Amino acid sequence: MLIGYARTSTLEQEAGLEAQTRDLTALGCTKLYQEQASSVGPRKALEAALEFAREGDTIVVTKLDRLARSVTHLGNIIAGLEAKSVALRIVNLGVDTATPTGKLMLNVLAGVAQFEREMMLERQREGIAKAKGEGAYKGRKPTARAKADQIKALAAEGLSMAAIAAKLGIGKGSVHRALSEPAKAA
């Protein structure tokens, strides 16, 4: 069975969702899962599609970015599908893991993506090191630690951690850390 999965990030992308479902239907997908959700948030339709797939089925997506948010996420999806003997077809890349060539191509593409990510991180680290050397990189200024005295004074007045956090514009965790620092030193 061909199982289609379509996703757009926002409600404004209705035409994109319609185009994906149209293409998936034209490809012969008899079961369709679709959703409008950010790639980083929970994706119930994707989870349902992956759960529904059985041995011999194929999950079909029009583009890779509709399916996975990262190389690691893609790897997890593929591992889950392989464990169930379910194939993956990515239409715009011409990749179908039901074939040995498709599996190879997907691994090559994932490897290239991982390589590019590592190169980008390396360039970023080099840029930060250069900026630090030139005195141009200071990093983010600590906000909560700079307000430790204010936090302690407000706590002494009887304000709750939530009230202190709201009043100073910082997180409750930061308030908790500031208040527990003397306990660590003791």
For residues 158 and 96, state if they share a domain.
no
Q: Is residue 177 part of a domain?
A: yes
Domain limit, last residue, from 45, 75, 106: 106
For residues 26 and 100, state if they share a domain.
yes
**In this predicted structure, what is the pLDDT of residue 11?**
66
How many Å apart are CA 1 and CA 27, to the nearest integer? 12
How many Å apart are CA 25 and CA 16, to the nearest integer? 14
Share of the chain above pLDDT 70, in %: 96
Which residues 6+ apart lie within 8 Å of 169 measured at CB? 143
Number of domains observed in the structure of the chain: 2
Return phi, psi of residue 154, to 5°: -65, -35
Active-site residue, selected from the candidate residues 9, 38, 70, 174: 9
What length is written for the chain? 186
For residues 10 and 102, state if they share a domain.
yes
For residues 9 and 88, state if they share a domain.
yes
Residue 158 belongs to what domain range? 145-185
Residue 9 appears among annotated catalytic residues? yes
What is the maximum span of the chain, computed from C-alpha positions, in angstroms? 70
For residues 153 and 88, state if they share a domain.
no
pLDDT class of 12 with cuts at 50, 70, 90: low
